[in-house]
């Protein structure tokens, strides 16, 4: 079963695009820690994606059984730490995180497989869920959601749009 634990950034990005449904199509189970739900509820970028997130009954909000590791909390914000902690508790190997430092910690320290918003869009195109992704990256940029230009370029190359 393909499971993923999601951080707020990618959920907000997919909300900006009104395409949160992509996660439901790509994964059997989408888990979100309470700390991430709370971050999204506080607003994110211009409250982007909040309505879509609230209506996505297929997203499973999960409480952590134990407090996040002190190392995680000293390195990352509460949401990122909760994503990694929940992935470990739930034995989910994949985490959806856009922030570089959190991805590195997830991969190098905890052995998880981090992916980001760009990878989700590439996979959605590969699975014929999206006809193209270039305009979606442009929309994210216009709305204030930043993804490094080199990551966008790689995503466009992988999706055959460059």
Answer yes or no: are the C-beta atoms of 100 and 119 closer than 8 Å.
no
- How many domains is the chain partitioned into structurally? 1
Q: CA-CA distances (angstroms) from residue 101 to 97, 131, 132, 162?
A: 10, 31, 29, 28
Question: Which CATH number belongs to the domain containing residue 70 in this structure?
Answer: 3.40.50.1010
* Separation of first and last alpha carbons in the chain: 33
pTM of full prediction above 0.85? yes
- Among residues 120, 155, 146, 151, the alpha carbon closest in space to that of 19 is found at 120
pLDDT recorded at residue 89? 96
Whether 59 is covered by a domain: the verdict is yes
Summarize pLDDT for 32-73 with one digit per residue, the tens. 999 999 888 876 545 556 677 888 899 999 999 988 788 888
- Among residues 92, 97, 79, the alpha carbon closest in space to that of 34 is found at 79
| CA-only gyration radius of the chain, Å | 15
Q: Does 2 score more than 70 pLDDT?
A: yes
Whether 10 is covered by a domain: the verdict is yes
Spatial distance between the Cα atoms of 72 and 135, rounded to a whole number of angstroms = 35
Whether 71 is covered by a domain: the verdict is yes
Structural domain span for residue 63: 3-117
Rounded to the nearest 5 percent, the helix, strand and coil shares of the chain are 55, 10, 35
Summarize pLDDT for 85-132 with one digit per residue, the tens. 999 999 999 999 999 999 999 999 999 999 999 999 999 999 999 999
pLDDT recorded at residue 47? 55
């Amino acid at each position: 079963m393909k499971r993923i634990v999601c951080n707020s950034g990618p959920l907000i990005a997919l909300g900006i695009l009104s395409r949160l449904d992509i996660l439901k199509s790509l994964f059997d189970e989408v888990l979100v820690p309470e700390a991430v739900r709370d971050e999204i509820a506080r607003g994110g970028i211009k409250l982007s994606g909040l309505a879509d997130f609230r209506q996505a009954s297929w997203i499973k909000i999960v409480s952590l059984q134990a407090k996040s590791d002190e190392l995680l909390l000293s390195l990352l914000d509460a949401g990122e730490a909760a994503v990694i902690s929940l992935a470990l508790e739930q034995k989910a190997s994949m985490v959806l995180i856009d922030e570089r430092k959190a991805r590195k910690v997830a991969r190098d320290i905890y052995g998880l497989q981090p992916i980001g918003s760009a990878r989700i869009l590439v996979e959605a195109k590969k699975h014929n869920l999206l006809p193209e992704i270039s305009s979606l990256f442009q929309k994210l940029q216009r709305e204030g959601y930043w993804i490094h230009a080199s990551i966008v370029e790689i995503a466009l190359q992988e999706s055959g749009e460059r």
